[in-house]
Amino acid sequence: MSLKALSSKDAAALDKDLMETGGFSLDQLMELAGLSVSQAVYRIHPPSKGKNILVICGPGNNGGDGLVAARHLHHYGYTPSIYYPKQGKNELYQRLTTQLKNLSIPFITDLPEAIKSSHLLVDAIFGFSFGGPLRDPFPEIIGQIESATIPVLSVDAPSSWDIESGPPKEGPGAKFMPEALISLTAPKPCVKFYRGRHFVGGRFLTRGIAEKYGLDVPDYQGVDQVLEVGVDAEGRL
Amino acid sequence: MSLKALSSKDAAALDKDLMETGGFSLDQLMELAGLSVSQAVYRIHPPSKGKNILVICGPGNNGGDGLVAARHLHHYGYTPSIYYPKQGKNELYQRLTTQLKNLSIPFITDLPEAIKSSHLLVDAIFGFSFGGPLRDPFPEIIGQIESATIPVLSVDAPSSWDIESGPPKEGPGAKFMPEALISLTAPKPCVKFYRGRHFVGGRFLTRGIAEKYGLDVPDYQGVDQVLEVGVDAEGRL
């Protein structure tokens, strides 16, 4: 199947449309986005393959999606941990954090140690609004993710990648190619540099908004909140 | 499996706990509750059996769950309609209504006509906070649902039933026995008068809150947001 890509600027405008004229709250959208992420984890790595999922969350909405996903993963029977080195000040992120703490989900501080004991890593550090360059402490964190031997699922974009032009030419992230990627609402242009399993999630796109931005409504099946989409040899979706 | 029931008073206190100390917003809880309702519809009546789902929404949170469910049903490929005779003033209900209008989901006014052309009816009129008696226009609406020949799924409780003592002795609702019921978070005491397919939904119950209220965390499977539970001949769960 073919899915058109959404630029960083259009992705921001689309979210604004969903909230200003669409009647959605950020709570709602983030709940559905994080739920999609959790279902992608389940697809690529069911609990029978290992329950320790490390979710690395960035300071913005991508990190919020990771926090929501971790809660759902707990309910699916995983034992998630969170690494959240720069916690967003937003009241919503604080509430999502409270939800996790009430489930006794640990917020870890020793990243190398946590990677060693995890079976899968969720990269929820930066999403479509990432403009680079990486600021401390993220160059080191990306380096550690890049050299990890466990599979990685990136949320919306591999963190450190430019949303248009893909992986950085050098430094942390230059060789980062996660095993799986979940694009939220629609793929971002950098997906053309991506090779691996690719999912789309965020089942709230209306036909009206899809038309406005020249997007396709993904062909989700049944009650699924996530759809696996292919990438061909030329990187076309 | 056995699931303990939650009184009306405890259900209200539990919701308050989820929001005050649990960090949840009503937006989030209603999104997950409505998603569960939509998955129960899909279980009992997949789109291949007929796509016209009439969702009757009451003025409170039970109606809000119905509005959320209708949006998900649209995304699953159904053609839902809404009957919403007394719209709640709450800003959240207005936003949920906007979301449906942006999907061109019709808000109907002729209930008998809509019942005739529908394949399944979702009763999202009253939930655990219903204290009776029915006030206009609901006696007539309940009468129409009661005499409908299409299957009905009730959300949290069959509307018109007392949450503790079950169906009214006489008048509208006295003979109301929906084909399916979805209890949110936990069954309510009136479930002991219920005979039919029974689901539980709302996959956000923490172990801490479950213990506080003497509840069981339902044994949801995989990424499901809904679980079918049995009712034995004595009405025990």
The mean pLDDT value for B154-177 works out to 97
Q: Of all residues in chain B, what percent carry a pLDDT higher than 70?
A: 96
Encode pLDDT of A224-236 as tens digits: 999 999 754 444 4
- Hey, where are the domains in chain A? 8-229
Closest by Cβ to B22, choosing from A38, A92, A99: A99
CA A59 to chain centre: 13
pLDDT at A127 over 50: yes
B96/A223 CB distance under 8 A: no
The mean pLDDT value for B135-163 works out to 97
Tokens standing for residue A65: 């999606």
Q: What ipTM was reported for this prediction?
A: 0.95
Q: Which of A92, A223, A225, A227 to mutate to test the interface with B (most CBs of B within 10 A)?
A: A223
- The whole-chain average pLDDT of chain B stands at 95
Closest by Cβ to A206, choosing from B103, B206, B220: B103
pLDDT band at A3 (very low <50, low <70, confident <90, very high): confident
A23/B97 CB distance under 8 A: yes
pLDDT at A152 over 90: yes
CA B66 – CA A22 distance, rounded (Å):
18
Alpha helices of chain B — where are they, by DSSP H? 8-20, 26-44, 61-75, 91-101, 111-116, 138-147, 207-212
Chain B's closest residue to A204, CA to CA, is B75
Encode pLDDT of B70-118 as tens digits: 999 999 999 999 999 999 889 999 999 999 999 999 999 999 999 999 9
pLDDT for B2: 61
Question: What totals of helices (H) and strands (E) does chain B contain, helices first?
Answer: 7, 7
CA A42 – CA A47 distance, rounded (Å):
7
**A37 near A124, Cβ under 8 Å?**
yes
pLDDT for A233: 43
Encode pLDDT of A161-209 as tens digits: 999 999 999 999 999 999 999 999 999 999 999 999 999 999 999 999 9
The mean pLDDT value for B41-70 works out to 98
Tokens standing for residue A69: 């996903």
3 state SS for chain A: CCCCCCCHHHHHHHHHHHHHCCCCCHHHHHHHHHHHHHHHHHHHCCHHHCCEEEEEECCCHHHHHHHHHHHHHHHCCCEEEEECCCCCCCHHHHHHHHHHHCCCCCECCCHHHHHHCCCEEEEECCCCCCCCCCCCCHHHHHHHHHCCCCCEEEECCCCCCECCCECCCCCCCCCCCCCEEEEECCCCHHHHHCCCEEEEECCCCCHHHHHHCCCCCCCCCCCCCEEEECCCCCCCC
pLDDT for B230: 76
CA A147 – CA A142 distance, rounded (Å):
9
B102/A220 CB distance under 8 A: no
pLDDT for A231: 57
Using an 8 Å CB-CB cutoff, list residues of chain B that contact chain A: 21-25, 27-28, 31-32, 35, 38-39, 42, 71-72, 75-76, 92, 94-99, 102-103, 203-204, 206-208, 220, 222-223
**A126 near A160, Cβ under 8 Å?**
yes
Q: Which residues of B touch A76 (CB under 8 A)?
A: 222-223
Architecture of domain B8-229: 3-Layer(aba) Sandwich (3.40)
pLDDT for A93: 98
pLDDT for B231: 57
The amino acid at residue A94 is: Q
The mean pLDDT value for A67-76 works out to 98
pLDDT for B233: 43
pLDDT at A160 over 60: yes
pLDDT for A130: 95
**Residue among B204, B234, B221 at smallest CA distance from B27:** B204
- A62 annotated binding-site participant: yes
CA A61 – CA B231 distance, rounded (Å):
43
Give long-range contacts, CB 8 A cutoff, 24+ apart: B89-98: B90/B64, B92/A25, B92/B26, B92/B27, B92/B30, B92/B64, B93/B63, B93/B64, B93/B67, B94/A23, B95/A23, B95/A24, B95/A25, B96/A23, B96/B30, B96/B64, B96/B67, B96/B68, B96/B71, B97/A23, B97/B67, B98/A21, B98/A22, B98/A23
